[in-house]
Amino acid sequence: MLSIVSKTSRLVPFYLLLLLSSLSFFSYAEEQEDNASSENNDTALYYELHPPFIVNLQHSGKKMHFLKIRIQVQAFSEEIINAVKEHNAPLRDAIIMLLSSKKKKDLSTAREKETLRKDITATIQAALSDIIGRKGIEEAYFTSFLIQ
């Protein structure tokens, strides 16, 4: 009976080591899976460009018109959202140049506003492509749109 107990007690550290090794392996595998899923995020992330954009619209008469809009960008990685935050100034500059070239009559219908939204998306993508080497965002969306 004594020899059985001593053999069993010698195996306990082995089984304990085996158990700990398998737990650390599964923990490592789970961590790698989490990292892979965060790099290939299927969930859309949104970021609002701050502050709102307020520009003078082109005018040919005596009356000036202003455009105030809020824009959110859509991306699928936190890295792109961080790039948008980091390079806010050149992105805003490009958008302001685009907006200030418009006339009130160019923004009166839903179709013209949709065209502007697509132009803003392309402008941001071109600017990000110049800065970080890829277009980055998927879309830009208006969250408010006011002409006065």
Asked if residue 74 lies in contact with residue 138, where contact means CB atoms within 8 angstroms, the answer is yes
For the whole prediction, is pTM greater than 0.75? Answer: no
Asked if residue 66 lies in contact with residue 147, where contact means CB atoms within 8 angstroms, the answer is yes
pLDDT digits (tens, 9 = 90+) for 14-69: 555 555 555 454 554 455 555 444 455 789 999 999 999 999 999 878 899 999 99
Among residues 124, 117, 123, the alpha carbon closest in space to that of 141 is found at 117
pLDDT score at 45: 98
| Pairwise CA distance, residues 80 & 78, whole Å | 5
| Pairwise CA distance, residues 82 & 100, whole Å | 26
